[in-house]
A and B are shown apart, each in its own frame.
Chain A
Amino acid sequence: GQQLNQSPQSMFIQEGEDVSMNCTSSSIFNTWLWYKQDPGEGPVLLIALYKAGELTSNGRLTAQFGTTRKDSFLNISASIPSDVGIYFCAGQRGTGNQFYFGTGTSLTVIP
């Protein structure tokens, strides 16, 4: 299946620091999604991106749809302890097609 690579695989940061993570693909996608998964829960959608170059914010989170359509980026500003979790990107080639999920970035915020 399609492989989406996320980096970094894990991050340990101090509370208040900014976070950046990215997701790359060998294929072009028309939609990018970013999810957060807490332990024992299903993934929760954070941001959806539908257009190359699009920059979308959700509170302290900002995500960008890469201009090549093969990558996407997620930034978290001024991290807080509740940001802890695993962040997944997901890409879709076209409407009705399946979403392929990235390998995940585990975020730990140290108070």
Chain B
Amino acid sequence: SAVISQKPSRDICQRGTSLTIQCQVDSQVTMMFWYRQQPGQSLTLIATANQGSEATYESGFVIDKFPISRPNLTFSTLTVSNMSPEDSSIYLCSVDGRANYGYTFGSGTRLTVV
């Protein structure tokens, strides 16, 4: 299955600032996904990022708040903009491993907004 490197692994940020999270995959993948996991909660899909097209956002998530880049088939970034304490969560990128491997996740970025 694909190996995903995600960074930073954690960060503490001031409210009103922005943080960009990077996700690097060791193989070319068509679809990359960004999830949010709020404290003690399950995973919620933020958006799907395909190379060469605009990301597709799920209900409740907007591009101005969570801009996504997908410059090539092995890399994507998620920016959390104008952060507030409510944005404190774990953010995870994921790829569709296919070949019966389901979805593979990065180790996540633990964000705390103060």
Judge if A65 is at the interface, Cβ distance under 8 Å: no
Q: How many residues of A contact B (CB 8 A)?
A: 21
CB pair A90 B44 closer than 8 Å: no
Task: Assign chain B's interface to a size class.
Answer: 20 to 34
Q: How far is the CA of A90 from the CA of B6 in the complex (A)?
A: 22
Please measure, in the bound complex, the distance between the C-alpha atom of A42 and the C-alpha atom of B97, giving whole angstroms: 15
Residues of A within 8 A of B110 (CB): 40
Q: How far is the CB of A91 from chain B (nearest CB, A)?
A: 11
Whether A48 contacts B58 by the Cβ 8 Å rule is no
Query: Which A residue's beta carbon lies closest to that of B42?
Result: A101
Residue numbers of A with Cβ under 8 A of B are 1, 31, 33, 35, 40-45, 48, 50, 88, 90, 96, 98-99, 101-104
Residues of B within 8 A of A (CB): 1, 4, 6, 31, 33, 42-45, 48, 58-59, 92, 94, 97, 100-108, 110
Supply 14 further A-B pairs (C-beta < 8 A) apart from A1-B58, A90-B43, A98-B48. A1-B59, A33-B102, A41-B108, A42-B92, A42-B94, A42-B106, A43-B43, A43-B105, A45-B1, A96-B31, A99-B45, A101-B43, A102-B42, A103-B42
